Amino acid sequence: MSYVRITALLSLILLTSFPLLLDAQSQQIADWTFHPNYTLPRNAANYPGNKVDPPQGRFDRFKRLGGPVVFQGQNPTQRISDLLERTKLPTSAFTLELFLLNHVNQPVGVLLTTGSIAGPKWYLGYYDDELSFYLQDENDDEALIETSLKKGWKNYWLHVVAVFKEEEIQLYVNGELREKQAVKAPQIAYPEKSMLELFGYFANEPFMELSNLVKKINLYATAWTSEDVDLGFDQMKGQVEKGLLFEEVFHFTVGPYLNMATQTGINILWETDRPATATVKYGRQLPLDQEISVDSLAYIQEIALQDLETAAPYYYEIIAIDENEEQMSSGVLTFSTAVAGDGAFSFCILGDTESRPYINQQLGKMVWGERPNFIMHLGDVTDGGKEPNKFQWTQEYFTGITPVASRIPVFPVAGNGESDLYWYNRYHVLPAPEAYYSFSFGNAEFFMLNSNERDELLQGGVQYEWLKKALSASTATWKFVSHHHCPVSSDENDFGNTWGGKQSERGDPRFDALKKLYEDLKVDVVFYGHVHAYERSWPLKDGQIDQENGVIYLKSGGAGGNLEDFTPTRSFFTNKVQNGHHYCLVDIHQGKFSFKMFDLEGRLKDFFELEK
């Protein structure tokens, strides 16, 4: 569900860092803040910490509304009606300010308009990188200005300001005046049934909602100057740089989020919008009977719960406390410690969550329905979440994954989207050296590599030699390797433009030494992502299918990134390919390995078993 906050400002808000906006913002009519406050279903429907209020609509039962507004030839997929009644709509000079985050490659849009019943007196619309502002004055004279938006601030953010001043309309994008046009009359006359409505156009992204595209809408009863616009843009940039989800609300910007479950412990991480201490309460039953204090003020906090019982369910709660002693609770959440020996366990696999939190959230609900012991993430948790792009973690990845990751621990590998590892290392607590590591769960051992460092994977490289030694020493029944990039792949263009006449290498040749190592040291399955599709190979050894001694290569890159396709002809090694968003489920008990792959609608698309 999307939550929207609409607030009429009853008093002057002092913005000390932006004093020149004082007069403009004192004329604010209303503001709307959008964030997709995703939760899991039923008893797990817990949003951790503080959030904005639910929609404050003005609906009466059976109220008659106008028809849906077709915009740029598109029918709306979402509608919020009656945001403001007619008496509050500005009749003379006004300013509209929007923050948009468009991080998808499909055409999507939004329209804010006064006219679903009697026709619009003005609208501000965005669709497929095209922005338009329309106004009809009291004499019914019309003005329309449009501009094309090919790239935003940090590539994806748009600060849009539409201004009606005296006898002119103006359209600004990221501080730049793009278009203006004269209007004959300085007033607007609204028909009796006018109201302000918001429409979303997401036919090309059917799980997307307004709160994924729109982050903020402000309406002012005054015409902003170019200086006001610049300061408003700076204010938006400051909020994005800090990774904030809400203004002036004490909240979790990240998590809580579980890492590294062992038989006797687990790591918990979280981040708040301001420095805070915390108390972590936990126990086997409610009320919680154990607690640990985190006494240092910080934004990002982590704690390791230790001396826990093996294969046991636990409850936990984080109470964060800011410098002014304001408290915020995560609510009571749950986790389980790892199984021992030959105990049965299951894990789910996600890869390339990237820029679609609504896909992450949908898959997360399905993963939660399986109740796995942990999630293995195959990298590209973000689309490019390096140090300057904190928003890709707070606004996108953790927005979608937190509902399930606050209850199911995640074991990730780094993808090219996290290649500088700045936020990746800060948001994970993993065994040293963290960029690559191993862990055991039940009778399986997992070897997690950082394939961004290609030279380290060549024979003699740091990770190659580490893996060779670790695999040789492993006594686990099942041995799995995970990394982000593809040793084997039938995708259409990563290893040769197959639709353009170039033959594909069918995988990254820089993995050749590693593939030989996998085969020689009896790895069972190699998991990876990078290409946004699904593919499973036959068991392979020495470049041939070998069903007795071969290694299975399994690509799962369909958890949110822009979907990709395959070569026009089948690869000799391919057992199954599937285009579409998906997740995988593995169940292990002693010498039995059972694998399933499900699409976004929960349909089983692949299945196989191994036995030892």
* 291-303: average pLDDT: 97
Q: Over 60: is that where the pLDDT of 464 sits?
A: yes
CA distance 586 to 564: 24
DSSP-derived 3-state class of residue 74: strand
DSSP-derived 3-state class of residue 114: coil
User: Quick check: bond before 487 cis, omega within 30?
Assistant: no
What is the per-residue pLDDT for 65? 63
Q: Which of 142, 113, 147, 155 is nearest to 128 (CA)?
A: 147
What is the per-residue pLDDT for 11? 30
Q: Which helix (H) or strand (E) is 553 found in, with range?
A: strand 552-556
Q: Which helix (H) or strand (E) is 212 found in, with range?
A: helix 210-213
CATH topology of domain 3-241: Jelly Rolls (2.60.120)
What is the per-residue pLDDT for 13? 31
* 231-243: average pLDDT: 96
- Flag the least confident range among 12-21, 66-75, 545-554: 12-21
Tokens of 141: 């004279």
What is the per-residue pLDDT for 53? 67
Q: Over 60: is that where the pLDDT of 62 sits?
A: no
Strand pairing report for 94-101 and 157-165 = antiparallel
Q: Are 251 and 395 in contact (CB under 8 A)?
A: no
* 290-304: average pLDDT: 97
Q: Which of 427, 415, 301 is nearest to 355 (CA)?
A: 415
- Flag the least confident range among 58-72, 73-87, 438-452: 58-72
Q: Over 80: is that where the pLDDT of 495 sits?
A: no
Q: Over 60: is that where the pLDDT of 60 sits?
A: no
State the chain's mean pLDDT as an integer: 92
Q: Over 60: is that where the pLDDT of 290 sits?
A: yes
Place of tokens 């843009």: 233
CA distance 188 to 196: 14
What is the per-residue pLDDT for 63? 53
Q: Over 50: is that where the pLDDT of 302 sits?
A: yes
Q: What are the angstrom distances between the C-alpha of 460 and each of 311, 450, 457?
A: 38, 16, 8
* 500-528: average pLDDT: 89
Tokens of 348: 């789910």
Tokens of 294: 């985190």
CA distance 236 to 257: 27
What is the per-residue pLDDT for 23? 59
* 272-293 burial: b if 16+ Cβ within 10 Å, else e: bbbebbbbbbbeeeeebeeeee
Q: Over 90: is that where the pLDDT of 68 sits?
A: no
CA angle 252, 256, 259 (to 5 degrees): 145
- Flag the least confident range among 111-125, 140-154, 274-288: 111-125
Which percentage of the chain shows pLDDT scores above 90? 83
What is the per-residue pLDDT for 25? 59
CA distance 27 to 442: 62
* 13-31: average pLDDT: 58
- Banded model confidence at residue 3, pLDDT cuts 50, 70, 90: very low
Boundaries of every domain in the chain:
3-241, 250-338, 339-611
- Flag the least confident range among 54-63, 66-75, 332-341: 54-63
CA distance 250 to 7: 17
- Banded model confidence at residue 449, pLDDT cuts 50, 70, 90: very high
* 318-346: average pLDDT: 97
Same fold flag, 3-241 and 250-338: no
- Banded model confidence at residue 193, pLDDT cuts 50, 70, 90: confident
Tokens of 416: 């090219």
Q: Which of 427, 413, 417, 422 is nearest to 457 (CA)?
A: 413
Q: Over 80: is that where the pLDDT of 376 sits?
A: yes
- Banded model confidence at residue 497, pLDDT cuts 50, 70, 90: confident
What is the per-residue pLDDT for 542? 94
What is the per-residue pLDDT for 61? 45
> CATH number for the 339-611 domain, one of 3.40.50.150, 3.60.21.10, 3.30.750.24, 3.20.20.70?
3.60.21.10
What is the per-residue pLDDT for 536? 98
What are the pLDDT digits (tens) for 395-437?
999 999 999 999 999 999 999 999 899 999 999 999 999 999 9
With the C-alpha atoms ordered 475, 478, 482, 488, is the resulting torsion angle positive or negative?
A: positive
* 534-554: average pLDDT: 97
* 346-373: average pLDDT: 97
DSSP-derived 3-state class of residue 510: helix
Alpha helices by DSSP H, listed for 428-494, are: 462-473
**Across the strands, what pairs with 263?**
none
Phi-psi region of 459 (alpha: psi -120 to 50; beta: other; left: phi over 0): beta
* 73-107 burial: b if 16+ Cβ within 10 Å, else e: ebebbbebbebbeeeebbeebbbbbbbbbbbbeeb
- Banded model confidence at residue 549, pLDDT cuts 50, 70, 90: very high
Q: CATH 2.60.40.10: does it fit domain 250-338? A: yes
* 345-358: average pLDDT: 97
